[in-house]
Every structure is written in structure tokens, then in C-alpha cells.
Structure 1
Amino acid sequence: MRTSNMFVRSLGVFVPDIVTVEQAAREGLYPAAEIERFQQIGAAVAGDVPAPEMARRAVLDAYERWGESSPRELDLLLYPSVWHQGPNGWQPQHYLQMHLLGGHVPAFEIRSGCVGMISSLELAASYLQADQRRETAMVVSADNHGTPLVDRWRMTPGAVIGDAACALVLGKEYGMAELLAVNATTIPEADAVNDGGYPLFPPDATVGRGLSFGDRHEEFRQRLLKAHGTGIHLTIQKTMMQQVEQTLDEAGIGLADVTRVAFPHGRREDLDGQMSWLGIDEDQTTWDYGRRVGHCGAVDQFIAFEHLIATGGLVAGDHLLMVGFGSGTSVAAAAFRVLSTTPVTKGSVTRGAHA
């Protein structure tokens, strides 16, 4: 989807302190033999800070940086989430309404896995474009994986799981970056990649079954072997390339115009494949940052975006491409053009200045 007149007003983050793999290895949590092999550096660990509270802090950070408006002036709140957020039967967006937004802001939780932030941008942009009176939307996501059902150090062989939150304010007319295009799709035949062959009922969490992607991916691999292969991995690669090509075409740029590509924070072997598919080098990716904080649910590409802006990795005129994958399997891409490395207020630009 070509997203005309859509701008990132501000980015806010909450990234807790890093626990290194060396520290985790000393505590018997991470295999010492895997430190050099997998090249992971650490994971952001939130302790007992609830995910919705992490989200609240990210929202406040976004508005403190922007300094122009109030969360209560939003037209929409979307809260993508991956892991459990709080009590059963309770929804995290209501926590933000209670503590920040008030009840008049339409607010929805989005459950589309680790692709949730990118796919929610498409929903938010569509919502704003549907009515000229709507001005701003927020997409915010947070996850704290430090629960008894997750072993962050071993859940995915070759990767570690972190905790973080990010809030993005999307608005019309002006901003620090322009959202040029965004697309998301699903590969239904890959539904079984992460189900582990477990029954759909009763749900895992209700019977205390933990989450191990390593075990689930191996189970799926064995299923493929018995079925003599299905070509599903080739389908995922092809779909990713289609999403990237469509997004860049709609954005009016080519891959050669892209300064950085933000992938999910994961295994080095996955990154090598993704770089090969796109024909890019490691220094064009966010690998070095991602291996320091871990895979943080739906926010990986967005906390990397904020990090690049803060450290000079992106400057005005640069283009950022985000590529996302979600269990199920869903694939998404988004393209941005950086306009400023600091939040832009309405009074500092003239109407149509970013057109």
C-alpha cells in the first residue's frame, strides 16, 4: 500500500538493561560453548516490569521527545503483542487508556505475532486516510518474556529473547520520517511451522506448556521429511521478496536507494540467508544492534530504527526498509524516508513541505 501523506511524528522506546551471554553462561542459563558459535551478545531483560507498563513508558518517551501534543489527542491506538500481557480476560490497551489516553480513543490489541508493528502501520494508515478529520494514530507494542513458560536463553537455538517496548506516533502532513509504503500478507500453508503438532485445545498456557521454538521447528522439519518436503521455505523466501519488491516499487525507490534494512533480531544463519536473498552486506543491516538486545517480539525493527537515528546510523535523506516475519506465517515490509533526526513539530514546517 502506498501511504501518501503519512509521517512518523515521534518514536519512543523502553529498552531495559542488557544481560550479557557471558553473565548468563556463568549462571548456567546459556551454553558457554555457543557464545562464539552464534555471536549473540546479550538480551534486554525487564525483570518484573509488566509489558503494559513498558508500553506506557515508551508512549511517554515518544511524547516527551515530540513535545507538541498529548496522548489524549490521538484518533487511534493499536497495541500489537506477542506474549501474554497480564491477567486472563484482560486487554493491555485499556491500561494505556486508564493511565494516559482516556476512554474516547478507539483502542485495539492486535495479535499477528512478531510482524505486528509493521502490519499495524498498514491498519493505522488506512484508518487515518479514511477520514480527513483524523490526524494521528499510535502503534505501541511491548513484551516481557521473563515468565515460567519461556527460557529466553534456549527457546530458539542460535538466538536469545529480549524484552522491550516501542511507541510510534503516525500522523498526516509532517514528521521526522515519511512512511512511503507498507504491505503485509500471510502464507496459510505455513500455518504448522510453529504449532509443534500440539492440539489447538486446550491452549498451551492453560495447561502450563512452555514455548520452545527449537522443538517446534524440529517437529515441523520431521513432518516435512515424512511428506518428502513441501517447498515451504522456498515459498516463504519468494513471498518475502514479493513484499519487498512491491513495497519498494510503491515507495518509488529501488534497493540501491536503501541505506539500512531492519530484519527481526534472530539467528545469524537466518540473517545470512536474508542478506543473500536481497544482495546486501552486514553493515547495511541492524544485526550488530539486534544481537545486543535479543529478539524482542514485534518491536525489533522499530527499536533498531530509534537506535539508528540516535547514533547517526540514519540521517536526513536516508531510506530505511523494514522486513518482518510472524509465526503463522506472515510476512511484511515497510519503507521510510528520514526527514529529520529529531522530532518535528507542526510550527516548524509548512503545509506540504514533505510532499
Structure 2
Amino acid sequence: MRTPDLYLRSIGVHLPPVVGIETAVAEGRYPADEVEYFRLGGAAVAGDVPAPELALRAARQAFERSGGLSPRELDLMLYSDVWHQGPEGWEPQYYLQQHLVGGDVLAVELRQGCCGLFSALQLTAGYLRPGGTALLVGADNHGTPLVDRWRMIEGAVMGDAGCALLVTTDTGFAELRSINVTVLPEAEAVNDGGVPMFPPDATVGRPLDFAARNREFRKRLIAGDGAEVMLAIQKTLLELVDRTLTEAEITLDEVARVAFPHGRWDDLENRGVNWLGLTMADTTWDYGAGIGHLGVSDQFVALDHLLTVGALAAGDHVLLVGLGAGTTMACAVLRILDVPPEYASGGPA
């Protein structure tokens, strides 16, 4: 999907303090024998700060960086998440409406897994009219009784964060050149682990354990039931990246950096980097390994980090790639128009 006249005006990030992997090992939370192989640094841990509060703090920073946009002048707010946000029967976007943007804006929660912010961007591209502004937020706090952040995903750990994007149709520091989100329906069961759909996990206290589900799928893969699915995922992802680059009118050689989900390094290398002919140095994996998989926010928090450390300059293109349950795949191309002063002066990540 080509996205003419759609810009990132600003990014806001609230990243809690990082708990190092050594601390997790010392506390018996992370297996000591996996440290060397998986090369993880730690996870951002929000403690008892609710996810909507992480989103609110990120959104406030986005407005502070926006050069004068008012929260009360929004045309759209989309709130993306992957994990429970607060009381059942309550919607997290209402918290931001109460404390920041007011009640006149269309505000919707999106549950699109780890590709949620990509879906929000695509919906925004179809919704905004000239002069319009949208706030896209993503937030998760995984520190709950049904999640073991240190062992839920083999080779990765779960971090917490709030992320906010202000998207406009007139001007910004980066131009969204193209975005695409697609679903491979035949891979819907990749992450189900054979767990019953009813009653839902949270209502019966069943923990979320992707490591166990992945082991179950690998058994099916060895038995021959999943090989075609994996080939279809590879084919679909490569086609998606190629289409998005073509719509952005660039080639992969013209991309300065690539941001993937913050997953295990060997999966990324074998199922993403190698497929595209990249190297790990082309990606933001090293940064992600130090803060954990943030649910919906990985690629956009990584973009903020690249700007903060001076790794991007005007004219650079950034490729963002998303993979999520469903199986959902997403891809976007951004062109940096100007590095905002808060980054040029060494602003906070």
C-alpha cells in the first residue's frame, strides 16, 4: 500500500528500567546454561505500572516532541496491545481520553498481536484526510501472574514499554513511503499449542507459554505436518518485503537499517536475515536483545533508538518488518527527512 502524504511527526517512548540477565540468573528466573548461546542482555521491567500508564507517558512525550500539536485536536487514536491492560470489560484507550486527549476523538483498541502498530498505521493511512492527525499508541506490561517473562519464549525474554506515534498528513521528520500487512490463514495454528479455544486461557488461569507451544509445533514440523506452513511463511514474507520496497520505489540495497521483532537471534538469522541476504549488523537485534520483546512496540522503539544514537541521517530509508501470531506479517518503509533536534542534541531514548 503506497502511502503518499503520510508522515511521522514525532515518536514518544517510555521504557522502564532494565533488569539484567545476570540478575535474572542469580534470582533463579533465567536458565544459566542458556546465557552464552542466546546472548540476551535483559528486559525492561515496569513493575506495577499499568500498561495504559506506560502508553500515556509515551504519548505525552510524543506531543512534547511534536512542535506544538495539541492532544485535543486529534482525528483518530488507535491503541494496540497484546496482553491484558486492566479490568475486564474496560478499554485502555479511555484512560488516555480521560488524562490527555478528551472524548471527541475516535478511539479504538486493536488486538492484532505483535503487528498491532503496523495495522494501526495501515488503518490510519486509509482514514486520515488532508490536515488530519492520528495518535497511535502501543503498550504492554507482561509482569502478571500468567506470564513468566524470562521463560515464556525460548531464546527471548519479554520486556515492557509504552510507545506513541504522531502521524500527520502535512509534515514530519519521516515519510511513510509504503506499508503492508498480510495474514497467512493456514498458519493460524502455529502458536495455538493445541490449547482449547474455550474457555479462554485467562478465565481458567492457564499461563501463556509460547515456549511449550513452539515445542508442540516443532513436533508437528518433524512429523511433516508443518513443513509446508514454514515454506509458505518464507514465501509470503519475501513477497511482502519485495512489494513494500517496490511501492516505496527503492531496493533493499538502499535501506540503511532493518528493524525486526526482538526475538531469538538464531530464528532471526535463519528465517529473516538470511532470507533477505542481510547480516545481523544490518538489524537492530543487538539493541532489542538488551530490552526484550516489547509486544507491539519493538520496531518503533528501535527506530527511536537509532535516531537517539545518531545511526540515521536525512535521506536514509528504514525497513520495519513484523511477524506475529495469526500468522501475521507486516512491512513498512520510512524515509528520514530530517533528524529532530531532540535526537541531534542527545535526547532520551
**Is residue 333 of structure 1 aligned with residue 326 of structure 2?**
no
**Is residue 67 of structure 1 aligned with residue 64 of structure 2?**
no
Aligned twin of 2:247: 250
Aligned twin of 2:194: 197
Alignment of 1:262-273 (within 5 A): 262-273=259-270
Determine what percentage of the aligned residue pairs are the same residue.
Answer: 57
Alignment of 1:236-315 (within 5 A): 236-273=233-270, 274-315=272-313
Q: Separation in 2 of the partners of 1:33 and 1:245?
A: 39
What per-residue deviation string (whole Å, max 9, x for no partner) do you get for residues 326-348 of structure 1?
1011000000000111079xxxx
What per-residue deviation string (whole Å, max 9, x for no partner) do you get for residues 147-197 of structure 1?
010101101111111001110001012100000000000000111111111
Aligned twin of 1:48: 48
Q: Separation in 1 of the partners of 2:243 and 2:300?
A: 21
Q: For the Cα contact (< 8 Å) 2:3–2:125, is it kept in 1?
A: yes
Q: Separation in 1 of the partners of 2:153 and 2:195?
A: 18
Deviation at 1:310, TM superposition (A): 0.8
The runs of 4+ residues in structure 1 deviating greater than 6 Å are none
Q: How many residues align?
A: 341
Q: Which one of the candidate residues 215, 220, 238 is aligned to 1:223?
A: 220
Alignment of 1:1-355 (within 5 A): 1-128=1-128, 131-132=129-130, 135-226=132-223, 228-273=225-270, 274-342=272-340
Provide TM-score, normalisation by structure 2: 0.96
Provide TM-score, normalisation by structure 1: 0.94
SS at match of 2:307: helix
Q: For the Cα contact (< 8 Å) 1:194–1:327, is it kept in 2?
A: yes
Deviation at 1:279, TM superposition (A): 0.7
Deviation at 1:215, TM superposition (A): 0.4
What per-residue deviation string (whole Å, max 9, x for no partner) do you get for residues 102-151 of structure 1?
110000001110011112100011101xx34x511111000000001010
Q: For the Cα contact (< 8 Å) 1:77–1:107, is it kept in 2?
A: yes
Q: For the Cα contact (< 8 Å) 2:116–2:296, is it kept in 1?
A: yes
SS at match of 1:66: coil
The residue identity in structure 1 corresponding to 2:282 is: Q
Taking a change above 3 Å as real, the CA distance of residues 339 and 330 of structure 1, as seen in their structure-2 partners, is same
The residue identity in structure 1 corresponding to 2:170 is: E
Structure 1: any 5+ residue segments left out of the alignment?
345-355
The residue identity in structure 2 corresponding to 1:165 is: G
Is 3-12 or 266-275 further displaced after alignment? 266-275
Deviation at 1:25, TM superposition (A): 0.4
Q: For the Cα contact (< 8 Å) 1:10–1:343, is it kept in 2?
A: no
Q: Separation in 1 of the partners of 2:226 and 2:298?
A: 31
Structure 2: any 5+ residue segments left out of the alignment?
343-349
Q: Separation in 2 of the partners of 1:207 and 1:190?
A: 26
Deviation at 1:237, TM superposition (A): 1.0
Q: Separation in 2 of the partners of 1:252 and 1:258?
A: 11
Q: For the Cα contact (< 8 Å) 1:76–1:107, is it kept in 2?
A: yes
Q: Separation in 1 of the partners of 2:27 and 2:200?
A: 32
Q: Separation in 2 of the partners of 1:234 and 1:283?
A: 25
Deviation at 1:325, TM superposition (A): 0.7
Deviation at 1:65, TM superposition (A): 1.4
SS at match of 1:138: strand
Taking a change above 3 Å as real, the CA distance of residues 288 and 230 of structure 1, as seen in their structure-2 partners, is closer
Deviation at 1:226, TM superposition (A): 4.2
Is 214-223 or 55-64 further displaced after alignment? 214-223
Aligned twin of 1:348: none
The residue identity in structure 1 corresponding to 2:298 is: D
SS at match of 1:28: coil
Taking a change above 3 Å as real, the CA distance of residues 343 and 166 of structure 1, as seen in their structure-2 partners, is farther
SS at match of 1:169: strand
Deviation at 1:222, TM superposition (A): 2.2
Q: Separation in 1 of the partners of 2:47 and 2:82?
A: 17
Q: For the Cα contact (< 8 Å) 2:217–2:226, is it kept in 1?
A: no
Taking a change above 3 Å as real, the CA distance of residues 97 and 156 of structure 1, as seen in their structure-2 partners, is same
The residue identity in structure 2 corresponding to 1:155 is: M
What per-residue deviation string (whole Å, max 9, x for no partner) do you get for residues 248-267 of structure 1?
00001000000000000010
Q: Separation in 1 of the partners of 2:111 and 2:328?
A: 12
Aligned twin of 1:350: none
Q: For the Cα contact (< 8 Å) 1:310–1:341, is it kept in 2?
A: no
Q: For the Cα contact (< 8 Å) 1:176–1:343, is it kept in 2?
A: no
